[in-house]
Chains A and B, each alone.
Chain A
Amino acid sequence: MIELRNVTKYFGRRVAVDDLTLGVPKGQIFGLLGHNGAGKSTAIGMMLGQVWPTRGEVVICGHDVTRRRQDALLRVGAIFETPVFYDYLSGWRNLEILSHYTAPTSPERIREVIDWVGLTGRERSKVRTYSHGMRARLALAQALLPQPELLILDEPGDGLDPEGIHEMRQTIRRLHLELGLTILLSSHLLSEVEQLCTRIAVLNQGRKVFEGLLAEAKQAQDWVRLRVDDFGRAVKALRSEKLVVDERDGQLVALAPGVGTDQVVRRLVEQGTAVYEVAREEQTLEDFYLELMRKDAVVETLKR
């Protein structure tokens, strides 16, 4: 549904997106992760033909966005971080205005979408009277009106309270299950991405530093929690035997491929180390993300 091929975007001399290649297959909830300013919104802007790439190719639903923007966006809906509308007009009027930029939309279709997002009864009120949550629902309604196949969500949880975030999460799941939409979710809220996405890409300073299944990210390394009397001495011994490849936080070790915890315990006992606890540690997305950022920072420092 989405293909970015070697896309680069410069704003003046600053590179916002650097040689980004990305693919979002049909039917997935794809997470685009990165800190503020990592290039997520610029990448989304290029997908929607709002930002022109300096180099590279952006293909949406089989059409090149820079050359055939209208065809590319015909079945695409988008929601941005802060839902903005014509506050002095009613929710209904806003939906009419926005949907007519795609195609003439019948009142029945508008009614149907209003019902789906749960705004029935408030559609004739001016948008200035809407709460943040209602605006988020209206944003969803305008995105759903053209019966999209692809939904692009740029920081949809921003500014929502915990209830609102929960509701948004449930809605995204419904959109995926009930309407079968392909969803691109850009966020810096790792927990949201972790709960919703099947595949992710991580951006840092405009560059992609990871793309793959969420499950792969969470098992990128086999970490084991190790509580012993002398962690430093234990790690030294295990490294000399090539049983571990990494350590962190004074209690975690990454086992070498094919190494089991039984081998680790045996070696430690043999050298006389007191072992109190050995447990497999499933890496959270947060751990993975932070590790990725740390490694990338080291690589950048070395390059300089």
Chain B
Amino acid sequence: MFYLQLRNELWKLFGKKRTYIGFLMFLLAQNVIALVFRFSSASGGMVRTLEGNGYLAQEYVSGLTIATVMLFPIAYILLPLYVSLVGGDLVAKEAEDGTLRMILSRPVSRFRLLLLKWVAGAIFSFALVMTLGLFGLGFASIWFPWKGLFVLIPGEVFSVFDVWSGLKHYAAAHWMMAPKAVSVMTLAFMFSCFNVKPAAATILALSFVFVNFIMMNIPYFRDLQHWFLTYHLNVWQFMFAQPVPWWKIGESLSILAGFNLTFLAIGVTAFQVRDIKS
């Protein structure tokens, strides 16, 4: 029964054209970034950094490196946008369209309905992150050779890997990015459970993420950055560190799980007590 209902939620979600906006924009953005790196001097800085540290740049300016470089702006800006767009739609759009009233004339509990919708949203978020990784690697590999991986996150990570080790870290970073996508989706989903328009739920979630990000980067709050959601959302980038700080990743994943449970509890409570009217 749960499987059937989940399948229905997925039909609803993946039957809508707007669900694919994220996939389409990733495809476009990754192609543009790959072409800019291929046909301009954008990789010059990377070459100088590598050679300045005694590495042969030509061994690391690769499809894997470019795919990782393009990952950062997309993961910071586009990914939260598209998962919150879908998360914000999940309940609020059905309430706005009137289909929620049709569903709630059925003997399904509100909690179960929300759980189904959240699982569907989580599946979408996971699929979006995996697509992001596969598209990025695919497009970058068209224009750049299949060689080692170089990752630089100023002040945090400076790593070089051979091709297979790099691929493992690249894949692991995407696995760790899935909790980020799910968390932002859950945040938008929480707002969606209130009596608001879908766009309002999306905007509220994005505002929450961006305000967190801005505050976290204000020097005054440096010592408090562990308290910000965005600090833990970016745990995936530590998968490129050498060695991988597993304790830090474990801590962030636990905190993200706590955030998700809190968002869900607030959303479920708000949805449970509200009146569903036409």
Contact A80 B15, beta carbon cutoff 8 Å = no
The CA of A142 and the CA of B101, in the complex, are separated in Å by: 13
Instruction: Write the nearest CB–CB distance from A184 to chain B, whole angstroms.
Output: 12
Closest residue of B by beta carbon distance from A72: B107
**Are B12 and A84 interface neighbours, CB within 8 A?**
no
Contact A50:B277 (CB < 8 A) given known A70-B108, A74-B107: yes
Contacts of B105 in A (CB 8 A): 48, 50, 73, 76-78, 80, 152
A51 touches B275 (CB 8 A): yes
User: In whole angstroms, what is the CA distance A81 to B102 when docked?
Assistant: 11
A71 to B107, CA, bound (A): 7
Residues of B within 8 A of A41 (CB): 277-278
CA distance A74 to B99 in the complex (A): 19
Question: In this assembly, does A221 line the interface, its C-beta being within 8 Å of a C-beta of chain B?
Answer: no
Cα distance, A198 to B108, chains bound together (Å):
32
Q: Does any Cβ of B come within 8 Å of A67's Cβ?
A: no
Tell me the bound Cα distance from A288 to B97 in angstroms.
Answer: 37
- Chain A: minimal CB distance from B97 (Å): 6
B103 within 8 Å of A (CB atoms): yes
Is A98 part of the binding interface, using a Cβ–Cβ cutoff of 8 Å?
yes
Pick from B1-9, B34-42, B130-138, B140-148 the stretch touching chain A.
B1-9
Whether, in the assembled complex, B16 has its beta carbon less than 8 Å from a beta carbon of chain A, the answer is yes
On whether A88 and B16 interact (CB within 8 A), knowing A48-B105, A82-B98, A101-B103, the answer reads yes
CB-contacts of B1-36 with A (<8 A)? 1, 4-5, 8, 11-12, 15-17
A50 to B95, CA, bound (A): 12
**In this complex, which of A48, A100, A142 has the most chain B Cβ atoms within 10 angstroms of its Cβ?**
A100
Query: Are A73's CB and B101's CB within 8 A?
Result: no
Known: A80-B98, A84-B99. A97 touches B277 (CB 8 A): no
Q: Is B17's CB under 8 angstroms from A45's CB? A: no
Is B4 touching A104 in the complex (CB atoms < 8 A)? Answer: yes
Q: How far is the CA of A279 from the CA of B96 in the complex (A)?
A: 54
Cβ contact within 8 Å between B278 and A80? yes
Mask for A44-59, Cβ within 8 A of B = 1, else 0?
Answer: 0100111110000000
A173 proximal to B (CB < 8 A):
no
Q: Which residues of A contact B127 (CB under 8 A)?
A: none
Chain B's nearest CB lies how many Å from the CB of A222?
A: 41
Residue of B nearest to A100 (CB): B4
Does B273 lie at the interface of the complex (its beta carbon under 8 Å from any beta carbon of A)? yes
A210 / chain B contacts, CB cutoff of 8 Å = none
Asked if A84 meets B275 with Cβ closer than 8 Å, knowing A71-B107, A96-B8, A100-B4, the reply is no
Task: Report the interface size class on chain A.
Answer: 35 or more
Q: Who on chain A is nearest to B97 by CB? A: A84
Q: Is A116 in the interface zone, CB < 8 Å from B?
A: no
Chain A 57-101 interface residues, beta-carbon cutoff 8 Å to B: 69-74, 76-78, 80-82, 84-86, 88-89, 93, 96-98, 100-101
Given B15, B103, B275, B278, which contacts A89 in the complex, CB threshold below 8 Å?
A: B15
Q: Is the CB of A86 within 8 A of B12?
A: yes
Q: Considering only CB atoms, which chain A residue lies closest to B17 in the complex? A: A88
Does chain A have a CB within 8 A of B109? yes
Closest B residue to A44 using CB positions = B105
Q: How far is the CB of A81 from chain B (nearest CB, A)?
A: 7
Tell me the complex Cα distance, A289–B109, Å: 38
Q: What is the bound-complex CA distance between A78 and B12, given in angstroms?
A: 21
What sequence of 0s and 1s flags, for each residue 67-103 of chain B, a beta carbon within 8 Å of any chain A beta carbon?
0000000000000000000000000000001110111
The complex places the Cα of A109 from the Cα of B273 at a distance, in Å, of: 35
List residues of chain A with CB within 8 A of the CB of B8.
96-97, 100
- Please name the residue on chain B nearest to A152 by beta carbon: B105
User: Closest residue to B12 on the A side, CB-wise?
Assistant: A86
**For residue A102, which residue of chain B has the nearest CB?**
B106
Q: Do residues A104 and B1 form an inter-chain contact, with CB atoms below 8 A?
A: yes
Least CB distance, A140 to chain B, in whole angstroms: 13
Q: Residues of B with Cβ closer than 8 Å to A?
A: 1, 4-5, 8, 11-12, 15-17, 97-99, 101-109, 113, 273, 275-278
A residues lining the B interface (CB < 8 Å): 11, 41-42, 45, 48-52, 69-74, 76-78, 80-82, 84-86, 88-89, 93, 96-98, 100-104, 142, 146, 152
